[in-house]
Structure 1
Amino acid sequence: MSTSFFLSFRSSKQAVFDGKKPIRGGIPFVFPQFGPWSFGPSHGFARIIRWNLEKAPERLPSGDVEAIFSIMDSEFTRSMWNYAFRLTYRLILREKELHFNIGVYNPSKDLTFSFNLLLHTYFKVPDVRRCQITGLHGCTFIDKTRDGAIFQEGRDVVTIGEWTDRIYQNTPQEHIITNVVSGRKMRVQKYNFPDTVVWNPWIEKAKEIADFGDDEFPNMVCVESGHVSSPVILLPGTAFEASQILQRGGLQEVEGEGQAGQRMPNSSNRRLPVLSPPPQERAEGKGVVPVWPPAPWLALNNVYMGEMLHHRLLLEHRKDQPAPSDHPHQCGNPCSICSLNL
């Protein structure tokens, strides 16, 4: 999805939407996998398949424009991820705001699955070196440019002057990006997305990306709301909901350069995402659908790690054979990734 409302970046390099690679720009959806994937394309399949238009753009009595899009399981998705699912997003365009309300539903009666979800938002900027991003001070982050080392952000505002690929964890619900096109500012508000990814390929990495111009890196920055450093575990018959609001202009300028981050141990405390509806829904007494199963986070994480070990071992065998028995997670339940019994 791409719109000039929030001054989105799109690479000038020729891009063909052929179901193999995504269009580099706008807001691609990362689902159900973040990063490399043994069973399918990197960052999952949601950004390379065609979405269904459930509700054509319609002007509401308020003057806002609303549209609804969705994808669901198909023979193509099941060849990589053998689950029934439905992913829907409701888009509302206002004069100075763009709202994304996103839902993932598990219609199965007996299978639980896990997934990642991220809005890979590209912002167009005149000079990324002049951009400032607030709301990350004190957050731990995984630095993918340094082999996944974990640091803590010490700067009040984050600036970019080199190859940047970071997963900030347990971030606040609001970030402000300054100095986007024409010196404007952008407020990013997010709900039920505990992580924020910041990415810019810089000089050398830009040259390695076939559908990205060598000289385009100064004019873009990705600030991405997601649930990626830990998985969402979705029980049968339940739904996960999250949202993002992009608001342009009318914000106080943020000044200051900040200080460099400090190295942290390779472990960090992760908490449950904040289940909070947008302000206007809170005012109306509405809430989001309960999405996280009522079980301790540590237990859920142990199940997920058991599945990851199961898959590492399974890749060493034929996929149609029973799962290896020499791994610690022996509960007899179906794996939420491939449905084989653990």
Structure 2
Amino acid sequence: MLHNVYLYGGQVTSWKNAHGEELLFVSSKASFRPPRAIRGGIPICFPQLKSTGSLEQYGFARNRIWSIDLDPPPSPSDISHKAFVDLILTHSEEDMKIWPHRYDCRLRVALGPTGDLMLTSRIRNTNTDGKSFTFRFAYQTYFFVTDISEVRVEGLETLDYLDNLKNGERFTEQEDAITFESEVDKVYLSTPTKIAILDHERKRTFELRKDGLPDAVVWNPWDKKAKSMADFGDNEYMHMLCVEAACVEEPITLKPGEEWKGRQEISAVPSSYCSEQLDPLRLLLRG
């Protein structure tokens, strides 16, 4: 049996197509135990994306044990799900010492009828002291690619981005598509709802569709940084690319009782767009 969702981190770690090919990257050196986050799959970044104060980088959601959500909110699209699981993360006394807010963070991981992988997050402010809170969020999706030098990302051309390798300085993308020859760590702003990742070597295209997440992070550590990461193989950068549906530039603010909803859907199709569809029965969910 194949398990693809871990309660640790509420994290998807496997998504395969009808041919049994893995579509997500997980490092061979990944740790699946606290306190280190799982390197690969789709980590949930909440309530922040960078180290500030006592909060760890990318927040704490990816380092916590989630629970099965026994009382999920109703979803009108349930009928289209071939399989799904609902998870929930709530505040703990430990977390309130570093982020003093009460919240419910719900996650539905679902498979569509053609094998699309859908993640829907709902975050509610449950503070009883009348205080609002502000957060940032990202689905840090690690795509498996055959050869990063043969990959291009389309849909982000002409957009402004923040270059994290240049102290977050703002630039405008000049290329027709993003290609990779060295380390990349960019935050594209006010991005379209659809982004395409073309794996030329595999003749496969990933389509990423998102809602409620206006920005997109594109990251590959390349060789030098890969060698400095304990939970990442020296040459594994060649076979992965992070494209993250995110809310980075403008944080989200919720008053008590208010809820935010964000969604990401990804599909993998032959680059010719004419071959058979993915088979959702080949991927199983575990809570």
| Corresponding residue for residue 21 of structure 1 | 36
| Corresponding residue for residue 52 of structure 1 | 67
Q: Distance in 2 between matches of 1:25 and 1:246?
A: 16
* 3-state secondary structure, aligned to 2:61: coil
1:89 pairs with 2:107: yes
| Corresponding residue for residue 92 of structure 2 | 74
1:188 pairs with 2:208: yes
Paired letter, 1:238: E
| Corresponding residue for residue 205 of structure 1 | 225
* Shift in Å, 1:171: 0.5
Which has the larger displacement, 242-251 or 127-136?
242-251
| Corresponding residue for residue 248 of structure 1 | 268
Q: 1:180 to 1:118 in 2, by over 3 A?
A: farther
1:4 pairs with 2:34: no
Paired letter, 1:76: E
Paired letter, 2:207: R
* 3-state secondary structure, aligned to 2:266: strand
| Corresponding residue for residue 165 of structure 1 | 185
Q: Distance in 2 between matches of 1:8 and 1:37?
A: 29
TM-score normalised by L of structure 1: 0.69
TM-score normalised by L of structure 2: 0.82
* 3-state secondary structure, aligned to 1:150: strand
| Corresponding residue for residue 122 of structure 2 | 103
- Equivalences for residues 122-201 of structure 1 within 5 A: 122-179=142-199, 182-201=202-221
Q: Distance in 2 between matches of 1:138 and 1:108?
A: 41
Q: Distance in 2 between matches of 1:181 and 1:17?
A: 34
| Corresponding residue for residue 309 of structure 1 | none
| Corresponding residue for residue 253 of structure 2 | 233
Which runs of 5 or more residues in structure 1 are unaligned?
A: 254-342
Runs of 4+ in structure 1 deviating by more than 3 angstroms, as ranges, are 60-63, 250-253
Q: Distance in 2 between matches of 1:251 and 1:86?
A: 39
Q: Distance in 2 between matches of 1:212 and 1:170?
A: 31
Q: 1:62 to 1:102 in 2, by over 3 A?
A: closer
Larger radius of gyration: 1
Q: Distance in 2 between matches of 1:217 and 1:187?
A: 21
**Quick check: 2:133–2:255 contact (8 Å CA) kept in 1?**
yes
Q: 1:217 to 1:249 in 2, by over 3 A?
A: same
* Shift in Å, 1:165: 0.4
Paired letter, 1:27: I
Paired letter, 2:56: P
Q: 1:205 to 1:93 in 2, by over 3 A?
A: same
| Corresponding residue for residue 270 of structure 1 | none
Q: Distance in 1 between matches of 2:131 and 2:230?
A: 39
Q: Distance in 2 between matches of 1:63 and 1:29?
A: 21
Paired letter, 1:46: A
Paired letter, 1:17: R
- Equivalences for residues 215-294 of structure 1 within 5 A: 215-252=235-272
Q: Distance in 2 between matches of 1:234 and 1:38?
A: 21
* Shift in Å, 1:132: 0.9
* Shift in Å, 1:62: 5.4
Paired letter, 2:41: G
Q: Distance in 1 between matches of 2:207 and 2:160?
A: 21
Paired letter, 1:103: R
Which has the larger displacement, 1-10 or 230-239?
1-10
| Corresponding residue for residue 285 of structure 2 | none
- Count of paired positions: 249
1:38 pairs with 2:53: yes
* 3-state secondary structure, aligned to 2:29: coil
Paired letter, 2:92: S
Q: Distance in 1 between matches of 2:14 and 2:192?
A: 25
